Chains A and B, each alone.
Chain A
């Protein structure tokens, strides 16, 4: 028996030794290296990161694409904290603008100011976007792209069959929903989870007021705007949307829902332009069989999502070089074109040629410039672009409760919204002050 036990002990030691070997091998590597922590794990996203990896390799920088899936970035955020806590801060990490602000206060953020100055980012970014990637007035993060969130994706042939025109205004939209339902067609694919509902809510808020109202309520968190009658109207409209959504959709992912529209099992989906990837994968062309139209009633607002990677403070010179090359590469026209074509977004760098981009991207770019002039660019609440996690979470909770509780009135929802947002703001400003 004792021989068995000692064999077992030997086995333990051997396997620990080999495991240690595995661990140390992971830390080797010669040239400039940069860890990029992110939550881009789906097909098109991963492909886009691969483009970056190749381009960085050409510059002598080895990028470790540390993609953590799950929970719309929740797992990645957990990993980020645990890595900072264990002194393995990644050189670059996907962090949204409001959170950049929050990290800025911890003093852990590095600087990309030199790269930005050399690259003249001030001229190449819309002012609203540039504002979002700064920490204490200095560039700290690099923006990748502009996604438009408030799109309505429409299956044209289904609409034709039902004899319904593509709606432009909210009343038209409601009429269309009614007609589709009468024709036995599921009008809306959506509602799979709170994130999808919140994406719809973003667009709905922009139907009850202009960009200014959206900004006051969901970005600046103005209590009066949050508790206004317009907000009550927004909640009522969200409920209208729910009535025309297939109840079995609960639990379905957004891309599954996009698939329903593409295959003609539902007529429309309110979703950002990352939906294009799914349309293309199904062998259809965005803008052709599946129309991309501005969410009815959203002519005065361009709700955007700007993916950003922040530079954390790193000691090693090689790592700082890695960060600089990373930022520079991301802002280069070549990467902007290749990446955004793959990802379904438009270049964040102004005046990048859109040759070879699809119809919807071209339309998006045109609307983006128009909105920039009218100061109608607003960051999306639903994708962590407008406020920090605590506040966004509070808004999500209210939306979820309202969406899932049919007897909760819109007035009660608005009241809860205002008070929850206030509480979340107070709680998160405690340590800042």
Chain B
């Protein structure tokens, strides 16, 4: 359906726009509230007016949330936790995407007996509630000497990300004709050679989808973060929760809370704004095909 030939304003078109705009307002309202609140003074926040424009306009809540707000006995704001999150999110995203790509390629281009069953087994891992893994995981990480470390979190997130990335990549590679790999094999190219030189370049759109998805999921994880890290090694979501639910005074600093929430959301938010196009394009290119 081409986007040219725009229709003129008929009643049905007006109705369509009306629905779309109302929906946009529903989606935007919380963001609007977050943004304006984060720039308000505490006095204005307390005087009500959820949707009111900041007056006076202040960036103090942002500075506090980033550098001086207190969680526990440290008043360092979210800054150190932001860096923690980066340190495990980036490697875990790349690793889980890599595994997903190779699995997806293998399960479609190199089908063998039982490969569908293996895919099913991998997929099932996606729907298991993570709480089931906490205690045995703690035990295993301890045995491996990885507890309470960034590396431990990388391992955890990589493992539990494989199912989704494999699903995405498999659904993509299934649309790639097998002939491509077959002819390359006749030419003598091996398994890895084909993967590296043919499959991966083709798969760039879906790799983008995987990375965006994984980045969102891992950056936003709370449960593993709260259980497997402590104190200074907390990820940003845990720090945010501590900050929001720890009020050192009876007065809640909603403006600082909202600024902190925005800071915690910023990286994924930027990813969606900047790379959202690739996300949609990648999905179109394959992820949603069965």
Contacts and interface: CB of A to CB of B under 8 A. Distances in A.
B247 A253 contact: yes
Given A16-B154, A19-B149, A78 B249 contact: no
Interface in A3-40: 5, 8-9, 11-12, 15-16, 18-20, 22-23, 26, 37, 40
Contact of B94 (A8, A20, A88, A258): A8
Contact of A43 (B87, B95, B248, B252): B248
Contacts of B73: 41, 46-47, 49-50, 53, 65, 67
A19 B90 CA distance: 11
Contacts of A279: 250
**Centre residue among A11, A16, A81, A86 by max chain B CB count within 10 A:** A86
A68 B98 CA distance: 34
Interface in B111-146: 134-135, 138-139, 141-143, 146
Interface string A124-163: 0000000000000000000000000000000000000000
A169 B246 CA distance: 35
B94 A12 contact: yes
Size category, B interface? 35 or more
A87 B227 CA distance: 14
Contacts of B204: 1
A15 B84 CA distance: 12
Given A20-B151, A46-B73, A85-B135, A12 B241 contact: no
Interface in A43-99: 43-44, 46-47, 49-50, 53, 64-70, 75, 78-79, 81-83, 85-88
Contacts of A203: none
Interface residues of A, number: 53
A259 B231 CA distance: 29
A78 B227 contact: yes
Nearest to A39: B72
B135 A281 contact: no
Interface stretch (B56-64, B168-176, B193-201, B274-282): B193-201
A16 B230 CA distance: 19
A259 B250 contact: yes
A68 B151 contact: no
Contact of A15 (B91, B134, B138, B248): B91
Interface in B220-235: 226-228, 230-233
A82 B138 contact: yes
Nearest to B229: A79
Contacts of B228: 82
B216 interface: no
Given A22-B150, A278-B249, A282-B250, A65 B138 contact: no
A153 to B, nearest CB: 12
Given A69-B242, A75-B226, A5 B196 contact: yes
A242 to B, nearest CB: 22
Contacts of A234: none
A67 B247 CA distance: 14
Contact of A65 (B150, B154, B231, B242): B231
Contact of B250 (A41, A88, A256): A256
Interface in B93-113: 94-95, 98
A66 B231 contact: yes
A41 B70 CA distance: 9
A23 B197 contact: no
A328 interface: no
**Centre residue among B70, B204, B226, B228 by max chain A CB count within 10 A:** B226
Interface string B166-204: 000000000000000000000000000000110011001
B8 to A, nearest CB: 45
A42 interface: yes
A9 B242 CA distance: 34
A46 B249 CA distance: 12
A86 B147 contact: yes
B217 interface: no
A262 B251 CA distance: 11
A255 interface: yes
Nearest to B251: A259
Nearest to A20: B151
Given A47-B73, A282-B249, A66 B91 contact: no
A120 interface: no
Nearest to B197: A2
Contacts of A259: 249-251
A70 B227 CA distance: 12
Contacts of A22: 87, 149-150
A86 B141 contact: yes
B142 A85 contact: yes
B44 interface: no
A23 B226 contact: no
Contacts of B88: 19
B226 A79 contact: yes
Interface string B237-270: 0000110011111111000000000000000000
B103 to A, nearest CB: 16
Interface of A: 1-2, 5, 8-9, 11-12, 15-16, 18-20, 22-23, 26, 37, 40-44, 46-47, 49-50, 53, 64-70, 75, 78-79, 81-83, 85-88, 253, 255-256, 258-259, 262, 278-279, 281-282
20 contacts: A12-B95, A16-B91, A19-B87, A19-B150, A20-B151, A22-B149, A41-B242, A42-B248, A43-B70, A44-B248, A66-B231, A69-B71, A69-B246, A70-B226, A82-B134, A82-B138, A82-B147, A83-B230, A87-B147, A255-B247
Given A22-B150, A23-B148, A262-B250, 4 more contacts: A12-B95, A46-B70, A256-B252, A281-B249
